[in-house]
Amino acid sequence: MMFPYIPLAGSFAQLAKNAEKKKPLISVTKEAVKNPPLKIYMLGQETLRTPANRIVKVDDSIRKLAKDMLVTMYSAKGIGLAAPQVGVQKRILVIDLNFEDPDAPPNVFINPEIISSSASLDTYEEGCLSIPGVYLNVLRPSSIKLSYRDEMGRPKKMNAEGLMARCIQHEIDHLNGILFVDKVVDQDELIKQLKENKFNENDVRKETK
Ligand code: CO
């Protein structure tokens, strides 16, 4: 997921050495790299529409994937990334709302499932690393409760609200082949922005609920 108006801080490296004491399982420097390990697929490519498979075992290969996804996400100045966006049909997503704090560990969600959603809804302007340049309002539940496994494979539960709830819902949609442009109400603005950014409006799929 990508939001406008959030500049990426340039001083991660200086502060990163302070984080060396703690040795998290997935250690990533929050810096953009010239050659990110993974390629991000764009609207119109089939991988974004293919539902992802559950992860059976959380092992080193999954942790390596999470790390590569994080490096790719930081390099693209995003705050969230789901595996189908990098051509991997696995139910894993990474989020970092504290990308300016080198000590704050990013979130890794494996097999995330929304247990319940609030009745109250919020509107928020979303963007997506797979649809660069397009920013539009989407209505979603304000808060959610979810279950998932962390990078150790431990079962976890979380109550999320605000930007975290928004981001998790956007990324879980990716795992199901759904994109935020499918949920936009303002069709005129959607078509205008897609055209401006050279995307094909036929690649949007209307939600049928
Ligand atoms: Co996205």
pLDDT of residue 5: 53
Instruction: Give 72 Cα–ligand 1 centroid separation in angstroms.
Output: 13
| Residue 84, domain member (yes or no) | yes
User: What backbone torsions phi and psi does residue 165 show, to the nearest 5 degrees?
Assistant: -60, -45
pLDDT of residue 208: 57
Instruction: Give 169 Cα–ligand 1 centroid separation in angstroms.
Output: 10
Instruction: Give 127 Cα–ligand 1 centroid separation in angstroms.
Output: 7
| Residue 138, domain member (yes or no) | yes
Domain count along the chain: 1
Instruction: Write out pLDDT tens, residues 5-61.
Output: 555 555 555 555 555 444 567 788 898 899 999 999 999 999 999 999 999 999 999
- Contact status, residue 66 vs residue 92, Cβ threshold 8 Å: yes
Selected residue with higher pLDDT from 152 and 23: 152
User: What backbone torsions phi and psi does residue 83 show, to the nearest 5 degrees?
Assistant: -55, -40
- 17-21, 67-71, 80-84: least confident range: 17-21
- Three-state SS for 70? helix
| Residue 4, domain member (yes or no) | no
pLDDT of residue 15: 56
| Residue 161, domain member (yes or no) | yes
Catalytically annotated residues: 171
Closest-CA residue to 88 (of 40, 44, 42, 131): 40
Average of per-residue pLDDT across 74-82 = 96
Q: What domain range includes position 181?
A: 27-199
In the predicted model, is pLDDT for residue 66 greater than 80?
Answer: yes
Work out the mean pLDDT of the chain and round it to a whole number.
91
Rounded CA gap, 190 and 192, in Å? Answer: 5
Q: What is the CATH number of the domain that holds 93?
A: 3.90.45.10
| Residue 9, domain member (yes or no) | no
Instruction: Give 17 Cα–ligand 1 centroid separation in angstroms.
Output: 31
Instruction: Give 126 Cα–ligand 1 centroid separation in angstroms.
Output: 8
